[in-house]
Chains A and B, each alone.
Chain A
C-alpha cells in the first residue's frame, strides 16, 4: 500500500524575478510504500535535505503536489500542517533535538501532550514504546545526563510514539561515533521490522545506507538512480559505492 506519493515536486529558492534563482528540486516524482526503509543519498547541495523538509511539511514546494494516503498535503494551511506533523510524521534529527528543559520521558510524550492525550494513555504508550529500547531506567533523567546513544533512542521513541505513518530521519548518524551509529541504524532496522514503520532517511554515509531496503539517489534536484537491496549485502554495498563515486560523494 502506498503511504506517500510525490508528484512533480519542485522547489525554487530566491524570488521569481531575481537573477539569483536557484532550483533545489526539479520536478521530482516518487512513491513510498508501507513498511519501506528508503535511503535518500546525494552529494552536498543535491537537494536531499530540501526534499526531506518538504516531505516533513516544514517547507512548502514551489510547484507540485504530494499526498499522504489520499490527502493532498500541499493544500493544508499552517494549522492543519502542524496537526499533520504531530499525527503522521515522526522526526529523527541529526543532533537528536531533545529539549534540554525536559526529562527524556517528557521529551518522548511531548507529541502526545501537544495533541491532548490523557496522562494515563500517555504512560501506557510510553511503556509500550520504551520497553524494547533499553532506556526505561533513564526516563527521569535530563538529556545532558545520559549518553548520546540513549538520547538518540529517546529521540527515536519520540518519533515513534504517535504511531506516525512515516518516520523522517535527517542524517541520523551524523553526530554519532561508529558504534553508536551502528546501534542507531540497527534500531531503525528494528523499528522498521518490528513496528512495520515506514522510514525515509537522508544520508550521505554509505555505511548507513547499507541498512536501507531501497536507495534513491538525487543529483542536482533530480532523481538520478534507484537501487534495491537484494539478498547479498556486499553486492548492495558495492553498488552504492559505485553510484556515489559517480555522483561525487564520498
Chain B
C-alpha cells in the first residue's frame, strides 16, 4: 500500500524532528514497563505488597503516572502535528482528503509507536534489575544486592496494551487537529495573531494576592491551620498560578514593553515582541508545567528529605541503639554473649532506675486550652549526673547540663514555644520543698513510659529521694523495672545481631526496642515514598521539559520566515543567537522558578506537618530547604539541558 511507503519515507525524512518525539515516547514506555515490572518483581512483592498500605500507595502512583503519560503524549503529539502543518497542508493541496491524511499520520504514529514500544520495553528489561535494586536498596536496611535478572512478560503485555490504546487515542486526537487546519492558512503565511493578549493589572494583582494568600496559609507554623487549609491552599495557589500566566504575565510583558529605553534595544524588541505575540497560546501550558513542576519538586524534595533524615528520626524517637526494661539479671549475660558471637562490641551500656515523682503545680493556660502537668500524670525524674550519663550514651545530640539547687529543667517530647514560655518560672511543689522550672528541653528519649520529665540537681535529688517524694515503686509498692540502654558498633547494619537480640529479649522483658528494627521499618515506608517521589519527579521533569521543547519547535516552524527577514535587514549571527536565547529562556525559566517557589512554600507546610517532628534541629526548615535545594538544583540542570537542546533545534529550524 502506498500510504505505508509514504509513512515510512516521512519518518526517514523527518528523522531529526522525530528524534525527540521518539525519545519521549520510548521514555514513557520505559517508565510504564519499569513500573509494571517492579509490581511483578518477586523481591519487591516480598518486601512491600504484604502490606495493604504499600500496595495501595503503589497502585495509586501507577494510575497517576499513566494518566499523566497520556496527557503528555496526546498534547505533544498535537504539537508535533502542528509543527508539520506545512507538510500536511501540501498533501491537502495535492488533493489528499483529511481522512487519508489522518490515516497517514495514524500510520506514522503506529509505526513510530511500535518501534518506541519495542525499544522502551527493551531498555526497561535491561534496566529492570537496576531499578528493582535501587528500590530495594533505598527501602531495605539490610538489602544485600543479590537479586536475579528477570523478564516480566506480564508487564510487557500490560504496557503494550496500554500504549497501543494510547496511540489510538493519539491518532484520533491528531485527526481532530488536522480537521481544524484550513488550507488557506498555508498561503496566508501566518499573518493573524492567535496569541496576543493585553493582560490586565487586576488579574495580575489578583493572581499575586491569591498565590500570596496561599503562601501565607501554607507557611503558618500552626499544625491545625496547615492541615485544615491544605485544600484551600491548593485551590488558591493553582488558581493564582493559572491566572498569573493567563492575565498577569501578558501584563508584565506589557510593562516591559512600555519601558522604551530598554525595550527598543534591538534584541529585546525582537524577542519580547515575539514572546508577547505567542503568550496566550503558551500561557496555559506554562501554567500547567509550573504546577506540575511544583508537585514534582515537592515530591522529590519530600522524598529526599525524609530519606536523608530517617537515621536522625530513628534516634530522635529511640535515642539509643537499644534499650529494654526489666529482667537485667538474667538477660544481660545473654545479650553480651550475643554481641561477642557476632563479633560486635558494646561501646557503652548503662542501667538506670526509673524514678518518678508527683509534685503539685498550677494548671497552665495555653491558648485557651489548659495544660495540666501534675493532676494525673507523674514525672519521670533524673538527677543531673544520671541525665548527663544517659546523654553521653544516646546517639542524639543533646548538651550536658548543670543545674543549681532549687531549680529544675522540664523535658517534654512535644515542646513548642508556647508551652516552654508558660512553664518556665512555674513552681513544682513537693512535701517540704519547691523547685522552680528554669529551662526546658525538647526530647522524648528520657521519659521511658512517662509523659513529663524533670531533671534536677544531684543534692536536691537525694533529699527528695529520702523524703519519699521521689520513688521507684508504683502505687502497689512494687518496684519499677530498671532500664538498660546500649550504644554499640554498626547498630544500623547488623541484621543478624538484631535478630538474635530480638529473640533473646522478646517476651522476657517489660519492653524493648532496637534502633535497627525501627530504622528498617522507616526505611520501608519512607524508602517507598522516596522512590515514588523520585520516579514521579523524574517522569514529570522529563515530560514537562519535552512538552516545552515540542511547543517551541512548533513555534520555530512558524517564526522561521521572520528570521529570514531579520537577517535581510541586517541581524548578524551573534545577534540572532541572543534573540533566540532571549526568546526561549523565559519559556523554560518562568515555569521552573514558579514551580520551585511554590515548592519552597509547600516544603514549609511539609516541615510544619512532618519534618519539625522528625528533625531535632531547632530550625528544621533550613535543613529541609538544604535537602530540597539539592533536588531543585538537579531539576534546574535537567531543564537547562532541555533548554540547550531546544535552542539548538530552534536555531537549526530558523536558519
A13 to B274, CA, bound (A): 35
Query: Is A223 in contact with chain B by the CB < 8 A criterion?
Result: no
Question: CB distance B273 to A101 under 8 Å?
Answer: yes
Question: CB distance B264 to A113 under 8 Å?
Answer: yes
| Choice from B277, B573, B574 contacting A101 with Cβ under 8 Å | B277
Minimal beta-carbon separation of A119 from chain B (angstroms): 4
A99 to B579, CA, bound (A): 14
Question: CB distance A97 to B575 under 8 Å?
Answer: no
Question: CB distance A101 to B562 under 8 Å?
Answer: yes
Known contacts being A56-B568, A91-B569, is A100 close to B277, with CB within 8 Å? yes
A86 to B196, CA, bound (A): 29
| Choice from B190, B265, B277, B570 contacting A82 with Cβ under 8 Å | B570
Residues 563-582 (chain B) with a chain A CB within 8 angstroms: 565-575
Query: Is A196 in contact with chain B by the CB < 8 A criterion?
Result: no
Interface residues on B, range: 20 to 34
A97 to B565, CA, bound (A): 6
Minimal beta-carbon separation of B567 from chain A (angstroms): 8
| Choice from A106, A115, A158 contacting B273 with Cβ under 8 Å | A106
Question: CB distance B264 to A83 under 8 Å?
Answer: no
Query: Is B261 in contact with chain A by the CB < 8 A criterion?
Result: yes
For the A-B complex, the count of residue pairs with Cβ-Cβ distances under 8 Å equals 89
| Choice from A79, A110, A143 contacting B569 with Cβ under 8 Å | A110
Query: Is A85 in contact with chain B by the CB < 8 A criterion?
Result: yes
Query: Is A114 in contact with chain B by the CB < 8 A criterion?
Result: yes
Question: CB distance A111 to B569 under 8 Å?
Answer: yes
**Chain B residues in 8 Å Cβ range of A79:** 572-574
Question: CB distance A99 to B276 under 8 Å?
Answer: no
| Choice from B189, B260, B265, B570 contacting A95 with Cβ under 8 Å | B189
Known contacts being A79-B574, A114-B570, is A144 close to B191, with CB within 8 Å? yes
Query: Is B134 in contact with chain A by the CB < 8 A criterion?
Result: no
Q: Which residue of the partner chain A has the closest CB to B573? A: A78
A158 to B274, CA, bound (A): 18
**Chain B residues in 8 Å Cβ range of A119:** 260-261, 264
Minimal beta-carbon separation of A15 from chain B (angstroms): 20
A106 to B567, CA, bound (A): 16
Known contacts being A97-B565, A119-B261, A144-B193, is A83 close to B572, with CB within 8 Å? yes
| Choice from B190, B196, B266, B277 contacting A115 with Cβ under 8 Å | B266
Minimal beta-carbon separation of A24 from chain B (angstroms): 19
Minimal beta-carbon separation of B570 from chain A (angstroms): 3
Query: Is B63 in contact with chain A by the CB < 8 A criterion?
Result: no
Residues 6-43 (chain A) with a chain B CB within 8 angstroms: none
A122 to B261, CA, bound (A): 10
Minimal beta-carbon separation of A162 from chain B (angstroms): 9
Question: CB distance B565 to A101 under 8 Å?
Answer: no
Kindly supply a per-residue 1/0 record for chain A positions 51-82, scoring 1 wherever the CB is within 8 Å of any chain B CB and 0 otherwise: 00000101000000000000000000011011
Query: Is B130 in contact with chain A by the CB < 8 A criterion?
Result: no
Residues 260-292 (chain B) with a chain A CB within 8 angstroms: 260-261, 264-266, 269-270, 273-274, 276-278
| Choice from A85, A106, A116 contacting B568 with Cβ under 8 Å | A85
Query: Is A209 in contact with chain B by the CB < 8 A criterion?
Result: no
A106 to B266, CA, bound (A): 10
Query: Is B192 in contact with chain A by the CB < 8 A criterion?
Result: yes
Minimal beta-carbon separation of B600 from chain A (angstroms): 34
Query: Is A142 in contact with chain B by the CB < 8 A criterion?
Result: yes
**Chain A residues in 8 Å Cβ range of B276:** 101
Interface residues on A, range: 35 or more
Residues 534-590 (chain B) with a chain A CB within 8 angstroms: 562, 565-575
Kindly supply a per-residue 1/0 record for chain A positions 104-121, scoring 1 wherever the CB is within 8 Å of any chain B CB and 0 otherwise: 001001110111111100
**Chain B residues in 8 Å Cβ range of A127:** none
**Chain B residues in 8 Å Cβ range of A133:** none
Question: CB distance A114 to B264 under 8 Å?
Answer: no
**Chain B residues in 8 Å Cβ range of A142:** 193, 196
| Choice from B266, B273, B274 contacting A114 with Cβ under 8 Å | B266
**Chain B residues in 8 Å Cβ range of A84:** 570
Q: Which residue of the partner chain B has the closest CB to A84? A: B570
**Chain A residues in 8 Å Cβ range of B190:** 100
Question: CB distance A109 to B264 under 8 Å?
Answer: yes
Known contacts being A119-B261, A143-B191, A144-B193, is A110 close to B269, with CB within 8 Å? yes
Minimal beta-carbon separation of B186 from chain A (angstroms): 14
Question: CB distance A58 to B570 under 8 Å?
Answer: no
**Chain A residues in 8 Å Cβ range of B196:** 142
Minimal beta-carbon separation of A121 from chain B (angstroms): 10
Query: Is A239 in contact with chain B by the CB < 8 A criterion?
Result: no
A111 to B196, CA, bound (A): 23
**Chain B residues in 8 Å Cβ range of A117:** 264
Looking at B269, B569, B572, B574, the one whose CB has the most chain A CB atoms below 10 A away is B569
| Choice from B193, B270, B568, B571 contacting A100 with Cβ under 8 Å | B193
| Choice from A78, A81, A85, A99 contacting B562 with Cβ under 8 Å | A99
A122 to B265, CA, bound (A): 11
Q: Which residue of the partner chain A has the closest CB to B275? A: A101
Minimal beta-carbon separation of A101 from chain B (angstroms): 4
**Chain B residues in 8 Å Cβ range of A143:** 191
A113 to B261, CA, bound (A): 10
A38 to B575, CA, bound (A): 33
Question: CB distance A114 to B575 under 8 Å?
Answer: yes
Question: CB distance A106 to B193 under 8 Å?
Answer: no
Minimal beta-carbon separation of B563 from chain A (angstroms): 10
| Choice from B189, B569, B573 contacting A85 with Cβ under 8 Å | B569
**Chain B residues in 8 Å Cβ range of A86:** 569-570
| Choice from B261, B273, B570, B574 contacting A99 with Cβ under 8 Å | B273
Question: CB distance A82 to B565 under 8 Å?
Answer: no
A91 to B570, CA, bound (A): 10
A195 to B566, CA, bound (A): 25
Given contacts A100-B192, A102-B269, A115-B570, 11 further A-B contacts (CB under 8 A): A78-B572, A85-B568, A99-B273, A99-B565, A101-B193, A106-B269, A110-B266, A110-B569, A113-B266, A116-B265, A144-B193
Across chains A and B, which 5 residue pairs bring their CB atoms closest together, nearest first?
A86-B570, A82-B572, A85-B570, A101-B277, A114-B266
The interface of chain B, by Cβ under 8 A from chain A, is 189-193, 196, 260-261, 264-266, 269-270, 273-274, 276-278, 562, 565-575
Question: Can you name 12 A-B pairs with beta carbons within 8 Å?
Answer: A58-B568, A78-B572, A82-B575, A83-B570, A86-B569, A100-B562, A101-B276, A102-B273, A110-B269, A110-B270, A111-B570, A115-B570
The interface of chain A, by Cβ under 8 A from chain B, is 56, 58, 78-79, 81-87, 89, 91, 93, 95, 97, 99-102, 106, 109-111, 113-119, 122, 142-144, 158
